[in-house]
Structure 1
């Protein structure tokens, strides 16, 4: 084993601190989005009351999707702050906004207490969460990528994606525990607030870690101008947004929407349905770095993605057909575990492929725009869209059709996306402070 030099030890310690700060902070942001989705039925009843339960759920999911509309704005505002001051400053701002919004939801009076004001406040909190999340992905991913050598980029960047699995697992585990331990009346009364309060406590811990996070050395002093970004990289941005179709649709359908789908459409028990979200999160947490480590072994960032998305495309229809035909809870869990393994573990190679398509001074903003627009178009409103289509057509296979279309779109865009344009640009390293 090669011995670390005195120079290597501080660099390794700085990288560990950076990864920990980004994983905890990004995981917290993903946790809050997951908790809202898992609580969609209860929130719909308490904040969007209607005589028709489906209408309440649709309004709740529409508010969930509204948070994604703010993501491009968050990418612009926080991306500009990250470029003009530092990426560390931008990431701390996004975490602070998310913490405030989470506590708003945790402490918010219901419609029965203050009337329509409760609905308005819930929408405001969700918009604030979307603003925070929009500015998070680009700076976080770029900071991780620029801290390591070319042959380790996929693995290190993958921990941002793995943190979303950690968040989904934690959120679903907490939601399942409170659902199992508290009566339905208690959950409806105040128990639903517990997961949001726990999230509110995670936020300050993440902010502290990010404050102590080492800065990336040689931070670019060039101010980001969005007009040149779109003018110089229009084709890259378009194909990048299309590449987000399968990752966004798969994540928000399989992790965020599936518990409601299993309960409302397939009539599974609420606790069992939440176990699927726990299982999905755990698989993402474990498998994403493993798949990324394999991707680092190939010269092309596309190789592993082609394989995973192609197999996922072929597996989608059989998976949902078996679910809708009633394979039992154990069989259903195994089916969803297989699907998530195939479709939701390309975050490392996918993010690095996109980051390497932009010069350093446009890298964080480029990924932020791609990710934010991709999630808005293909992910954020997918629970609402699929729920509406099922209600309209009566076809319980609608999630499968949506995912098949999204995966085919991603494979097309992956083939057209430029590769290795700025792949060998020197990394900046981590400063000693």
Structure 2
């Protein structure tokens, strides 16, 4: 009987890991995403008052990017932690730190109350947010991949990405009633704080949800056989440095979300640009696009199990990058229906081909002993590179510029091309079993050493 119970529990664990990844990612990315909305809508006035609206906007969006500065450091530290001590521990730790730091943002005094100390504290808390979130998706997707049965890794892992989109919806939706029903003065004075204070839910939910998932068999096997490296990040670059580089390049596809959601919000709503699209209307755009994304992500995850990861990783960024020109043009024209339509197509559909697939693909590219570190470092270096793009975009195409769609569209396309090329240069992993994925890097290293000896001879 006990064996039957154990077997039944093992069959339930992949679904439980997927659900844990979904809920945890939703809560943690809610925390991270509400900052993006606040940085575009209210932080320029609350924390960065300036005689120049453009300067205030650039400073506010730069604090959004500061969160990505800490992400590579968080990836190195938390990735090492996850590969040395287990996937489960890193998930609880990351969620707790994120929840507390976000709660404190909602309690910060404004520039008018304490002067320059206010933006300094804001930047410090944003750095802590970035450090914490760096370990979330790497740990969650590793947990799912290592629990998932063969042929379903892409589908089950996609739920952690579906959770990130759900968190983004909650973040945007939390501001909609506040910006709609509160007066501008009330929203600026205290209304913006409510979404941050609600993050206390993360602290409670994190302890409950993540305590119910067992550590993965793959990690337990590594620990039992004493194959856990002392310094996973050193072993990662020694064995898989080229893979890290390609994964970072693939991660540049995140420029699509930056262009559509973050810079798009500022371009559409900030008075300095003169588009004058209503903030309450524009807040609905990422909500609708993310609802479409939530529906399609499991479909794209399952599709990647059938046709492979690389086709989706290539086609999604390329097509979205090309259409970014049209999206920015209709935003600048204050054409709300076409803006919504193109946002859904670019961010809700095409980008999600990549987004639904990259987590399983990145996890499969690295062996168990450095899997969390490899994923976290690659993902977060890429996010660091794209995190400052909103402020860079604003500096390159500032308010008053007549070439915003052309300039920003071209930059978006260049990053998308780099991502697609790196995916094309990577090996397909969808049809390989988990133990076969462990063998491929070792076989490649032996082949490279053999070629080197042949050339020397």
For the criterion TM > 0.5, the same-fold answer is yes
Per-residue CA shift, 1:228-264, capped at 9, x if unaligned? 2112212111111011111x11122222332222112
- Which residue in the other structure is 1:330 paired with? 337
Per-residue CA shift, 1:324-349, capped at 9, x if unaligned? 344x3122211211111112332332
Per-residue CA shift, 1:94-138, capped at 9, x if unaligned? 111101111110111111112222121111100000100112222
Of the structure 1 ranges 125-134 and 204-213, higher mean CA displacement relative to structure 2 is found in 204-213
The answer to whether the aligner puts 1:402 opposite 2:416 as a matched pair is no
The answer to whether the aligner puts 1:367 opposite 2:375 as a matched pair is yes
Whole-angstrom distance in 2 between the partners of 1:406 and 1:163: 25
Distance 1:363 1:423, change over 3 A: farther
- Which residue in the other structure is 1:163 paired with? 163
Distance 1:72 1:227, change over 3 A: same
Per-residue CA shift, 1:383-425, capped at 9, x if unaligned? 1111111217542213322221111111111111233499423
Compute the displacement of 1:76 (Å).
1.2
- Which residue in the other structure is 1:39 paired with? 38
Aligned partner of residue 124 in structure 1, secondary structure:
helix
Whole-angstrom distance in 1 between the partners of 2:7 and 2:392: 50
The answer to whether the aligner puts 1:308 opposite 2:305 as a matched pair is no
Aligned partner of residue 152 in structure 2, secondary structure:
helix
Per-residue CA shift, 1:66-88, capped at 9, x if unaligned? 11011111111111221222111
Compute the displacement of 1:284 (Å).
2.0
Distance 1:6 1:96, change over 3 A: closer
- Which residue in the other structure is 2:282 paired with? 273
Whole-angstrom distance in 1 between the partners of 2:246 and 2:325: 25
- Which residue in the other structure is 1:241 paired with? 248
Assess if the C-alpha contact under 8 Å between 1:256 and 1:277 holds in 2.
Answer: no
Of the structure 1 ranges 51-60 and 366-375, higher mean CA displacement relative to structure 2 is found in 51-60
- Which residue in the other structure is 2:455 paired with? none
Aligned partner of residue 150 in structure 1, secondary structure:
coil
Of the structure 1 ranges 218-227 and 287-296, higher mean CA displacement relative to structure 2 is found in 218-227
- Which residue in the other structure is 1:29 paired with? 28
The answer to whether the aligner puts 1:204 opposite 2:204 as a matched pair is yes
Distance 1:32 1:291, change over 3 A: same
Aligned partner of residue 365 in structure 2, secondary structure:
coil
Aligned partner of residue 297 in structure 2, secondary structure:
helix
Which residue of 264, 271, 286 maps to 2:295?
286
1:161-240 alignment runs, 5 A limit: 161-219=161-219, 220-221=222-223, 222-223=228-229, 224-240=231-247
The answer to whether the aligner puts 1:67 opposite 2:67 as a matched pair is yes
Distance 1:112 1:376, change over 3 A: same
The answer to whether the aligner puts 1:115 opposite 2:106 as a matched pair is no
Segments ≥4 residues shifted beyond 6 Å: none
Distance 1:347 1:11, change over 3 A: farther
Per-residue CA shift, 1:359-378, capped at 9, x if unaligned? 11011110111001011112
Per-residue CA shift, 1:297-345, capped at 9, x if unaligned? 12x321233333343344332333333344x312221121111111233
Assess if the C-alpha contact under 8 Å between 1:147 and 1:427 holds in 2.
Answer: no
Distance 1:58 1:320, change over 3 A: closer
Whole-angstrom distance in 2 between the partners of 1:202 and 1:277: 22
How does the TM-score come out when normalised to structure 1?
0.91
- Which residue in the other structure is 1:431 paired with? none
Compute the displacement of 1:354 (Å).
1.9
Assess if the C-alpha contact under 8 Å between 2:243 and 2:365 holds in 1.
Answer: yes
Unpaired runs of 5+ residues, structure 2, are 438-457
Assess if the C-alpha contact under 8 Å between 1:146 and 1:427 holds in 2.
Answer: no
Distance 1:411 1:377, change over 3 A: same
- Which residue in the other structure is 1:20 paired with? 19
Pairs aligned (count): 420
Compute the displacement of 1:7 (Å).
5.6
The answer to whether the aligner puts 1:140 opposite 2:147 as a matched pair is no
Assess if the C-alpha contact under 8 Å between 2:251 and 2:419 holds in 1.
Answer: yes
Distance 1:113 1:404, change over 3 A: same
Whole-angstrom distance in 1 between the partners of 2:298 and 2:429: 21
Larger Rg: 2
**RMSD after superposition:** 2.1
Assess if the C-alpha contact under 8 Å between 2:318 and 2:413 holds in 1.
Answer: no
Whole-angstrom distance in 1 between the partners of 2:155 and 2:302: 5
Compute the displacement of 1:8 (Å).
5.4
Assess if the C-alpha contact under 8 Å between 2:91 and 2:135 holds in 1.
Answer: yes
